[in-house]
Structure 1
Amino acid sequence: MGGEKDGRPGEPRARRRGQGELETQVLTVLGGASEPVTAAWVQERLDGGLSYSTVITILTRLLDKQAVTRTGSGRPVLWQSTANGAGLTAFRMRRLLDQRDDRDAVLSSFVSALSPDDEALLRSLLSDNGPGPAGPPADESES
């Protein structure tokens, strides 16, 4: 049967997950929990039939990133989310930025590549956080 790429006719190839996709899925599951939960509880709610050891590995990586907390030194160990998917992405962005000596160039390139809508959103978010260390912009009049 020439032409079959995986040698199994009729079976679709498994899709490779994107970087950080499993971590985001685990955080989503944890975010739906009303209290700290076990790794087995997380495993049961994840699609894809992940092994228990894979779930533990993901939870441990998230713990290292301070995106989850772990309670209990014995059994059962309970896990709880401290960040959502957006928080985890922000953590990754900060970590990448921290690895560079040329922060100004990296941030400048990032901002220049934003769409006009994203740039407006970023400006709005920055202005909502209040004035920076230099005080309010010079063109603002006092009330």
Structure 2
Amino acid sequence: MGAEEDGRRGQPRPRRRGQGELEAQVLSVLGEATEPVTAAWVQEHLDAGLSYSTVITILTRLLDKKAVTRSGSGRPVLWQSTASGAGLTAFRMRRLLDQRDDRDAVLSSFVSALSPHDEDLLRSLLGETGPGSTDEAER
């Protein structure tokens, strides 16, 4: 079987975007701005060919996640990034973790699946003397 068709004169269906992909693209564009910008500016700088209302929806979702700020009374409303793409991913990870009753099991499973490099990085970031850890001399 070939590619699925979407009913528009036999054209293949466009690829469905991954969850959070548009948010990451908008944050990336906002990260390039040297000052707060309008939604129209964001729309112009995206390669996604999105409608203005879609850009506003994405910006509003990012505002709810505290990944962007909105300023200006009346028009124009100006938008500015408060988080990088990495910050938004970290927010999503915390939100998913907060939704689970078995937080310890989730964290344990996550850490056990890390590559040695990522595990070393995590240890470095946490520091060996962080809360709940024992000092090397005590081991």
Q: Shorter-chain TM-score category?
A: 0.7 to 0.9
Structure 2 letter corresponding to 1:71: S
Instruction: Provide the secondary structure at the position in 2 that maps to 1:80.
Output: strand
Q: Is the 8 A contact 2:25 2:46 kept in 1?
A: yes
- For 2:105 and 2:68, locate their aligned partners in 1 and report how far apart those are by CA, in whole Å: 32
Structure 2 letter corresponding to 1:86: A
Superposition RMSD in Å: 2.2
- For 2:2 and 2:94, locate their aligned partners in 1 and report how far apart those are by CA, in whole Å: 45
Percent sequence identity over matched residues?
A: 80
Structure 2 letter corresponding to 1:5: E
- Structure 1 runs (4+) greater than 6 angstroms displaced: none
The gaps in structure 1 that reach 5 residues or longer are: none
Structure 2 letter corresponding to 1:131: T
**In the TM superposition, what is the alpha-carbon distance from 1:116 to its structure 2 partner?**
1.5
Structure 2 letter corresponding to 1:20: G
**In the TM superposition, what is the alpha-carbon distance from 1:55 to its structure 2 partner?**
0.2
Pairs within 5 Å for 1:1-143: 5-6=4-5, 8=9, 11-127=11-127, 131-133=129-131, 137-139=135-137
- For 1:120 and 1:135, locate their aligned partners in 2 and report how far apart those are by CA, in whole Å: 15
Scaled by the length of structure 1, the TM-score of the pair is 0.86
Scaled by the length of structure 2, the TM-score of the pair is 0.88
Cα 1:133–1:108 change in 2 (3 A) is closer
Instruction: Provide the secondary structure at the position in 1 that maps to 2:70.
Output: strand
Cα 1:99–1:83 change in 2 (3 A) is same
**In the TM superposition, what is the alpha-carbon distance from 1:118 to its structure 2 partner?**
1.3
Q: Is the 8 A contact 2:3 2:12 kept in 1?
A: no
Instruction: Provide the secondary structure at the position in 1 that maps to 2:50.
Output: coil
- Structure ID, larger Rg: 1
The gaps in structure 2 that reach 5 residues or longer are: none
